Amino acid sequence: MKTAIATVCLSGGLDDKLEAIANAGFERVELFENDLLSFNGSPADVRRMIEDYRLQTITFQPFRDFEGMPPALRERALTRAERKFDVMEALGCDLLMVCSNVSPDSLGGIDRAAADLRELGDRAARRGMRVAFEALAWGRHINDYRDAWEAVRRADHPAVGLVLDTFHILARGTDLSAIRAIPRDRIFLVQAADAPKLDMDYLSWSRHFRNFPGQGDFPLDSFMDALAATGFDGLFSLEIFNDQFRSGSTRQVAVDGHRSLIYLLDRLHARSGHTVAGLTPMPPRAKCLGVEFIEFALDDQAAVPFESMLQGLGFRRAGQHISKQVTRWRQGDINIVVNTEKEGFAHSYNITHGTSVCALGLRVDDAAATLDRAQLLLDMPFRQAVGPGELEIPAVRGLGGSLVYFIDPKTDLARVWDIEFRAVADGSDKGDAGLQRVDHLQQVMLYDEMLSWLLFYTSLLEVDKTPAQDVLDPGGLVKSQVVQSDDGRLRLVLNGSQSGRTQTSRFLSEAFGSGVQHIALSTDDLLTTVRQLEANGVKLLPVPENYYDDLEAKSELTMELIDTLKAHNIFYDREGDAEYFQVYTNTIEDRFFFEIVERRGYRGYGAVNAPIRLAAQARLGGRPL
């Protein structure tokens, strides 16, 4: 397919938009009339600028309120169209996109619309141009793609074709099967957009909340299957009206757009097995086998209390890097890497962000293939100098400029701990707390970044999103979006907030950007773990008594169990027969903390407990451990 993006998707002036579009790897654009009108230069100047970016203008749009006008207004509409053709001639664009009429003056009737489109087609053809007709979901008479197609079919003109815009089709829940019967050369343009499920009028939904394929809830894959059944191989463009995108980073949104398109076509390819023109085949989404390590960047001073906290949590010093100031701490299947180097990536990360997680190591089935896929998805690979005897671990840039490393079981990467680390004696007098695995990571980000990172993870790894939730923080609402693998081996909670006073927002300002705010580690027996933590001198986040009174009122737990939970500050949640137990450490440097969980068949994250936890943390104001 010949992929493109509409200028309306992005923020900035037309020149900023075109630069971002070209830099994101697009070769074609849909030019929105407003972007031309607000540009300080002639259509010929715009044409030159577009050509300088080696872009091609595939369509000029929208042309409104055309079909079905009563005779007195019909002539005016046709004259208006001629003026657009003049502009298009200067732009070097040959396709005018006409959206269905919303005017109260317009009249219904497919034959009337067809006759108007035929006349417009004649006029376009005389100038070597074409027109493409789209049903707006809120069109006055034509608001269903099947009616738009019928009008185009009856117009029976080689210069008149159909636009399929997934928003208008999927927002109305229109049956997709009729798409399969449309001859592919009659579809002049496909516009792709996703959107969250919302209960609102079509126009507001469309103009403010569309997002890129894969970021919303629409069944785009079903649409793609129907489209592919026609053999369609033509113009395929992103057309997203989204307030956030239009105030966001032009560059980032353009890259996200291209990534979403590549991923959409990749899914089509994976389902059908057929080659998709315009798509470089790529390795499948990486199966994530777990978190191999979490690396912290610290300075020498911060490392002292941090490492003593790790000891309190039952971690043992297990290895020292062969050439760097990097220590491996271990418990169960969990590896925490403490990096206090004075140069290199972790050091610069520490200078910018303070004590923080600078890298995640993910266990995947094939690390090299994962990196290949990442590059084809326009993710940013990362390389740094590798010392003698060290491994080059494939990595890409992740949240906040941190790194995501890929480790696999089939190469030397599986032996990274043996190759790059030498064993050291521990000497800790603190007991092992029975922590087994990384259960989940919570990453905090700007609200406007959430859709970007959702797409980053879901396009690269075999993880899927669950419905977003609003969590109440004493300082405002926090939006929380989970991405996780089916088997729970990778669970990420992405949090963002539009309020400046939430824990989420404080993290962003204090850590100078997005990053990991908390790490949840799992145990098979939380009560035993907590007793050991207490023996090790670890202070857990105190939970208010009211919580347990409420728990007693709403659950069927025995008084004895509730008393135990209360005595140890354990949160509880239940889903059917599945149970969840959680405790939190106090915050470190007022922003980072650990959570310890025991899952008994439970698949959630204790969202009901989050407001109480956030309030308790806000009250404490992050007392050091």
Both tokens of 444, joined, read 């905090």
Q: Mask: binding to ligand DHB, 125-144, rule CB under 6 A, as x and -?
A: ---------x-x--------
Minimal CB distance residue for ligand DHB: 62
Helix (H) or strand (E) holding 202: helix 202-209
| 353 marked as part of a ligand binding site | no
Helix (H) or strand (E) holding 614: helix 610-620
Buried b / exposed e over 289-327, threshold 16 CB at 10 Å, is bbbbbbbbbbeeebbeebbebbbbbbbbbbbbbeebbbb
Residue 526 near residue 597 (C-beta atoms within 8 A): yes
Helix (H) or strand (E) holding 226: helix 220-229
Residue 143 near residue 168 (C-beta atoms within 8 A): yes
Q: Which of 516, 130, 119 is nearest to 354 (CA)?
A: 516
According to CB under 6 A, which one of 165, 266, 379, 408 is a site residue for ligand DHB? Answer: 165
The neighbouring-strand residues paired with 337 are 295, 328
**Residue 617 binds which entry of Mg ion, ligand DHB, none, with Cβ cut-offs from 5 to 8 Å by kind?**
none
Cβ at position 193, least distance to ligand DHB in Å: 8
Residue ranges in contact with Mg ion by CB under 5 A: 165, 191, 239
CB atoms < 10 A from the CB of 382, how many?
Answer: 19
Describe the chain by its helix, strand, coil percentages, rounded to 5: 40, 25, 35
CB nearer to ligand DHB: give 213 or 312: 213
CB nearer to Mg ion: give 65 or 239: 239
CB nearer to Mg ion: give 165 or 420: 165
| 45 marked as part of a ligand binding site | no
Residues 6+ apart with CB under 8 A from 433: 313, 314, 331, 523, 529, 532, 533, 536, 596
CB nearer to Mg ion: give 116 or 239: 239
CA distance 481 to 462: 16
Cβ at position 136, least distance to Mg ion in Å: 8
| Positive/negative CA dihedral, 96, 102, 107, 108 | positive
The owner of tokens 């190469």 is 411
CB nearer to Mg ion: give 101 or 582: 101
CB nearer to ligand DHB: give 202 or 512: 202
Residues 6+ apart with CB under 8 A from 487: none
Residue 207 near ligand DHB by CB under 6 A = yes
CA distance 169 to 136: 9
Residue 589 near residue 306 (C-beta atoms within 8 A): no
Residue 206 near ligand DHB by CB under 6 A = yes
**Residue 502 binds which entry of Mg ion, ligand DHB, none, with Cβ cut-offs from 5 to 8 Å by kind?**
none
CB nearer to ligand DHB: give 171 or 511: 171
**Residue 30 binds which entry of ligand DHB, Mg ion, none, with Cβ cut-offs from 5 to 8 Å by kind?**
none
| 568 marked as part of a ligand binding site | no
CA distance 125 to 478: 54
Cβ at position 399, least distance to ligand DHB in Å: 32
| 595 marked as part of a ligand binding site | yes
The neighbouring-strand residues paired with 242 are 209
**Residue 144 binds which entry of ligand DHB, Mg ion, none, with Cβ cut-offs from 5 to 8 Å by kind?**
none
Residue 62 near ligand DHB by CB under 6 A = yes
CB nearer to ligand DHB: give 213 or 434: 213
| 165 marked as part of a ligand binding site | yes
- The string of DSSP codes covering 369-431 is HHHHHHHHTT--B------TT-----EEE-GGG-EEEEE-TTSGGGGHHHHHEE-------SP
Give the footprint of ligand DHB on residues 226-265 (CB under 6 A).
239
**Residue 554 binds which entry of Mg ion, ligand DHB, none, with Cβ cut-offs from 5 to 8 Å by kind?**
none
CA distance 27 to 24: 9
**Residue 207 binds which entry of Mg ion, ligand DHB, none, with Cβ cut-offs from 5 to 8 Å by kind?**
ligand DHB
CB nearer to ligand DHB: give 163 or 362: 163
CB nearer to ligand DHB: give 99 or 113: 99
CB atoms < 10 A from the CB of 259, how many?
Answer: 24
| 67 marked as part of a ligand binding site | no
Residue 333 near residue 290 (C-beta atoms within 8 A): yes
| 321 marked as part of a ligand binding site | no
Cβ at position 192, least distance to ligand DHB in Å: 11
**Residue 62 binds which entry of Mg ion, ligand DHB, none, with Cβ cut-offs from 5 to 8 Å by kind?**
ligand DHB
Residue 99 near ligand DHB by CB under 6 A = yes
Residues 6+ apart with CB under 8 A from 451: 211, 212, 215, 244, 256
The owner of tokens 């009028």 is 201
Q: How many residues bind ligand DHB (CB under 6 A)?
A: 10
CB nearer to ligand DHB: give 65 or 408: 65
Binding-site residue positions:
134, 165, 191, 239, 440, 518, 595
Binding-site residue positions for Mg(2+):
440, 518, 595
Binding-site residue positions for a divalent metal cation:
134, 165, 191, 239
Query: By the criterion CB under 6 A, which residues form the site for ligand DHB?
Result: 61-62, 99, 134, 136, 165, 191, 206-207, 239
